[in-house]
């Protein structure tokens, strides 16, 4: 029996670092997911004080008031190549990498001019990540009792915004505007994990986790041009979740168990309730989270137009933090034995730290119809810092005292579980910086532009709760292709 226990612990250890927690990539670790529209990408997102094309509906709808074309349409597509590298996982020199490649439309917008009134409609695909991965590890050095491990993973995360905008030009210098987006945020994950041991026994775990969240995101803005060569802009947005649903289903099989009611574990959960049967123990679990963080974002921007060929812009973007609490206690029974477990009330899947980011960009017309754009920006993490020292203390306390306090009375047990830093699903901290370079060809009727974005970051992560924190590297390349027409 001790040998079987060691084998199973090895299995859980290996799985935990090869496959992070269920919510690993579903909620972004940074607030800036991309750029939307023709000029915003080339300016590194420093667009709040300009916002004079349909993408202004997203950045600052007040900027639409200073557009003069009767009608503008824009279509933007984005190719993105992302790589996350977790360095020295469990063993020095061992690296686990997660990659994504995709080509998707990320912005479509229409704008109509009625004198001082401007109306727009836009579709924004803020992020769309897909992961399809097959892994196989044979005879791993960290556990000689394992013959092979096979993992099959399919993940998809998407957020879509759709809605109208309106702007009104109060004077030649001042405009106000608003956008009301309908939001649809989805997560779809399916995984199968199979592991065979040296005694030819095996374990298999298969699960699906699907979530859909709907809501609204209003955006209000103001733009002011005190003098001809200076523009000031400000916008505010907030996410309001209106509803959602979620379904989680898991099956776990262990060939060493005797046939009967405890041979296979079942875990099922929705946004209304969740339960599990594990080794014959029936547990009522807390309901699953169907929401996403309801954060707010405030943007300030300034733009300078020293000549007709050159402009410079600067943005500050502050995104608020978020924390949600609710009862997450568990109740389990096995025969006459009853256990009540008190868990921490914080829903850590939804916890966000506030961030303040900066962006600066410039545009210069080399010719009347050809311009070059460039920008730089920061992308701070919305997670708490992760330190090696904290992980060492967490492991020491876990191995020495466990993460719970238990009191027994007959067949009744009361357990208080202390939340571990190692089991926090928000387990990645990377301070990112990016730069942009774009080229645009513009005529009186249309424009075409191409922009390259490079973003890198360094920090720490802890995707295995049974190991120390490891170094983390983020690397992303993006190419934006944009076409617009004017009437």
pLDDT tens by residue, 406-423:
999 988 999 999 888 888
What is d(CA 355, CA 297) in angstroms, rounded to the nearest whole number? 10
Per the model's pLDDT, the better-predicted residue between 470 and 136 turns out to be 470
Angle subtended at Cα 373 by Cα 179 and Cα 101, rounded to the nearest 5 degrees = 75
Instruction: State mean pLDDT over 15-28.
Output: 44
pLDDT tens by residue, 38-58:
899 999 999 999 999 999 999
pLDDT for 430:
96
319: Cβ contacts below 8 Å, ≥ 6 apart:
31, 295, 296, 297, 352, 354, 355, 356, 357, 382
Instruction: List the alpha helices (DSSP H) in 92-243.
Output: none
pLDDT for 363:
97
Longest dimension (CA), the chain: 86
What structural domains does the chain harbor?
2-486 (2.40.160.60)
Q: Cβ distance 347 to 324 under 8 Å?
A: yes
What is d(CA 245, CA 260) in angstroms, rounded to the nearest whole number? 33
On the CB side of 108, CA atoms within 13 Å amount to 5
pLDDT for 440:
95
161: Cβ contacts below 8 Å, ≥ 6 apart:
58, 122, 123, 124, 125, 126, 181, 182, 183, 217
The DSSP code sequence of 72-104 is: EEEEEEEEEEEEEEEES-SSTT-EEEEEEEEEE
Q: What is the pTM of this model?
A: 0.89
pLDDT band at 141 (very low <50, low <70, confident <90, very high): low
Per the model's pLDDT, the better-predicted residue between 172 and 145 turns out to be 172
Task: Give the residue from 239, 206, 232, 233 showing the smallest Cα distance to 221.
Answer: 233
- Using a pLDDT cut of 70, give the percent of the chain over it: 92
pLDDT for 27:
56
Q: Cβ distance 36 to 124 under 8 Å?
A: yes
pLDDT tens by residue, 55-72:
999 999 999 999 887 667
Strands (E) across 368-411 are located at: 370-379, 404-409
Task: Note the Cα 484 to chain centre separation in Å.
Answer: 29
6 secondary structure, DSSP code:
H
pLDDT tens by residue, 361-388:
999 999 999 999 999 999 999 999 998 9
Arithmetic mean of pLDDT over the chain: 88
Angle subtended at Cα 272 by Cα 267 and Cα 274, rounded to the nearest 5 degrees = 20
Q: Cβ distance 463 to 384 under 8 Å?
A: no
pLDDT for 22:
36
pLDDT tens by residue, 229-285:
999 999 999 999 999 999 999 999 988 887 766 778 999 999 999 999 988 899 999
What is d(CA 419, CA 346) in angstroms, rounded to the nearest whole number? 9
pLDDT for 402:
80
Q: Cβ distance 65 to 177 under 8 Å?
A: yes
pLDDT band at 99 (very low <50, low <70, confident <90, very high): confident
Q: Is the predicted pLDDT of residue 75 greater than 90, yes or no?
A: no
pLDDT tens by residue, 343-360:
999 999 999 999 999 999
Q: Cβ distance 419 to 344 under 8 Å?
A: yes
pLDDT for 130:
83
Per the model's pLDDT, the better-predicted residue between 92 and 332 turns out to be 332
Q: Which DSSP helix (H) or strand (E) runs through 15?
A: helix 2-18
Lowest average pLDDT, out of 72-76, 154-158, 440-444, goes to 72-76
Strand partners of residue 205: 193, 252
pLDDT for 18:
41
What is d(CA 325, CA 302) in angstroms, rounded to the nearest whole number? 38
What is d(CA 48, CA 463) in angstroms, rounded to the nearest whole number? 36
Q: Is the predicted pLDDT of residue 8 greater than 60, yes or no?
A: no
């Amino acid at each position: 029996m001790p040998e079987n226990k060691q084998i199973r612990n090895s299995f859980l250890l290996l799985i935990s670092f090869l496959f992070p927690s269920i919510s690993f990539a579903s909620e972004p670790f940074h607030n800036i997911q991309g750029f939307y529209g023709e000029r915003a990408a080339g300016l590194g997102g420093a667009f709040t004080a300009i916002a004079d094309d349909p993408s202004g509906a997203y950045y600052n709808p007040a900027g639409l008031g200073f557009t003069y074309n009767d009608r503008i349409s824009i279509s933007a597509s984005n190719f993105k190549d992302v790589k996350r590298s977790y360095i020295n996982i469990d063993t020095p020199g061992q690296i686990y990498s997660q990659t994504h490649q995709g080509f998707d439309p990320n912005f479509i917008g229409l704008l109509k001019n009625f004198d001082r009134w401007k109306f727009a409609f836009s579709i924004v695909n803020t992020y769309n990540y897909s992961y399809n991965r097959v892994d196989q590890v044979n005879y791993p050095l960290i556990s000689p009792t394992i013959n092979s491990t096979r993992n099959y993973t399919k993940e998809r995360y998407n957020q879509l915004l759709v809605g109208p905008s309106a702007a009104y030009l109060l004077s030649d210098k001042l405009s106000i505007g608003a956008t009301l987006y309908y939001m649809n945020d989805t997560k779809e994950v399916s995984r199968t994990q199979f592991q065979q041991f040296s005694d030819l026994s095996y374990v298999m775990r298969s699960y699906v986790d699907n979530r859909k969240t709907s809501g609204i995101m209003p955006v209000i803005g103001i733009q002011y041009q005190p003098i001809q060569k200076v523009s000031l802009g400000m916008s505010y947005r907030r996410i309001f979740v209106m509803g959602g649903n979620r379904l989680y289903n898991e099956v776990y099989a262990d060939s060493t168990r005797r046939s009967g009611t405890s041979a296979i574990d079942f875990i099922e959960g929705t946004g209304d309730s969740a339960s599990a049967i594990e080794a014959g123990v029936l547990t009522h679990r807390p309901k699953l989270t169907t929401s996403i963080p309801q954060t707010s974002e405030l943007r300030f921007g300034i733009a300078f137009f020293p000549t007709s060929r050159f402009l410079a812009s600067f943005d500050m973007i502050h995104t608020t933090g978020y924390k949600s609490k609710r009862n997450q206690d568990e109740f389990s029974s096995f025969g006459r034995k009853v256990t009540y477990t008190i868990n921490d009330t914080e829903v850590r899947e939804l916890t966000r730290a506030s961030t303040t980011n900066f962006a600066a960009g410039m545009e210069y017309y080399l010719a009347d119809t050809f311009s070059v754009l460039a920008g730089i920006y920061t992308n701070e993490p919305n997670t708490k810092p992760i330190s090696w020292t904290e992980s060492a203390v967490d492991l020491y306390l876990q191995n020495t005292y466990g993460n719970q306090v238990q009191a027994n009375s007959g067949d009744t047990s009361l357990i208080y579980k202390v939340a571990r830093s190692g089991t926090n699903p928000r387990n990645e901290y990377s301070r990112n910086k990016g730069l942009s370079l774009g080229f645009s060809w513009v005529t009186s009727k249309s424009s075409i532009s191409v922009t390259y974005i490079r973003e890198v970051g360094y920090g720490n992560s802890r995707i295995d709760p049974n190991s120390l924190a490891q170094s983390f590297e983020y690397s992303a390349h993006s190419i934006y292709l944009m076409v617009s027409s004017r009437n």
